[in-house]
Amino acid sequence: MKYRVMHKTSYTGREAVSIGHNQAWLEPRSISGQQVESFSLRIEPEPSIRSRQTDYFGNSVTLFSFNEGYQKLDVTATSFVTVLDQGSGANAPLAGQPWESAAELLRTHREESILRAYEFVFSSPRVNWNAEMKAYAVQSFPTGRCLLDGVRELTQRIHTDFAYDPRATTVTTPVQDAFRIRRGVCQDFAHIEIAMLRSLGLAARYVSGYLRTYPPEGQPRLVGADASHAWLSVYCGGEIWIDVDPTNNKFASTDHITLAWGRDYSDVPPLSGVFIGGGQHRLTVSVDVLPLPSKDVIRSKS
Binding site for another protein (CB under 8 A): 9, 11, 18-19, 21-23, 48-49, 51, 53, 55-57, 63, 65, 67, 110, 112, 115, 118-119, 121-122, 125, 164, 166, 170-172, 185-187, 189, 208, 211, 213, 226-230, 247-248, 265-267, 269-278, 283, 285
Measured CA to CA, the distance from residue 104 to residue 293 in angstroms comes to: 45
Measured CA to CA, the distance from residue 33 to residue 265 in angstroms comes to: 23
Task: Give backbone dihedrals phi and psi of 202, rounded to 5 degrees, phi first.
Answer: -95, 155
What's the closest the beta carbon of residue 116 comes to another protein, in angstroms? 10
What's the closest the beta carbon of residue 231 comes to another protein, in angstroms? 9
Measured CA to CA, the distance from residue 59 to residue 259 in angstroms comes to: 8
Cα four-point dihedral sign 85, 91, 97, 101 = negative
What's the closest the beta carbon of residue 278 comes to another protein, in angstroms? 7
CA 14 to chain centroid: 31
H runs (alpha helix) in 68-142: 99-108, 112-118, 131-138
**Residue with Cβ nearer another protein (148 or 186):** 186
Measured CA to CA, the distance from residue 145 to residue 24 in angstroms comes to: 40
**Residue with Cβ nearer another protein (96 or 269):** 269
**Residue with Cβ nearer another protein (96 or 277):** 277
**Residue with Cβ nearer another protein (3 or 146):** 3
What's the closest the beta carbon of residue 112 comes to another protein, in angstroms? 7
What's the closest the beta carbon of residue 220 comes to another protein, in angstroms? 17
What's the closest the beta carbon of residue 70 comes to another protein, in angstroms? 13
Q: What is the C-alpha radius of gyration for the chain, rounded to an integer number of angstroms?
A: 20
The strand pair at 60-66 and 241-245 is best described as unpaired
Nearest to 208 by CA among 121, 127, 168, 268: 268
**Residue with Cβ nearer another protein (85 or 112):** 112
What's the closest the beta carbon of residue 117 comes to another protein, in angstroms? 10
**Residue with Cβ nearer another protein (4 or 21):** 21
Instruction: Please answer whether residues 188 and 178 qualify as being in contact, where contact means their C-beta atoms are separated by less than 8 angstroms.
Output: yes
Task: Give backbone dihedrals phi and psi of 150, rounded to 5 degrees, phi first.
Answer: -60, -45
**Residue with Cβ nearer another protein (38 or 56):** 56
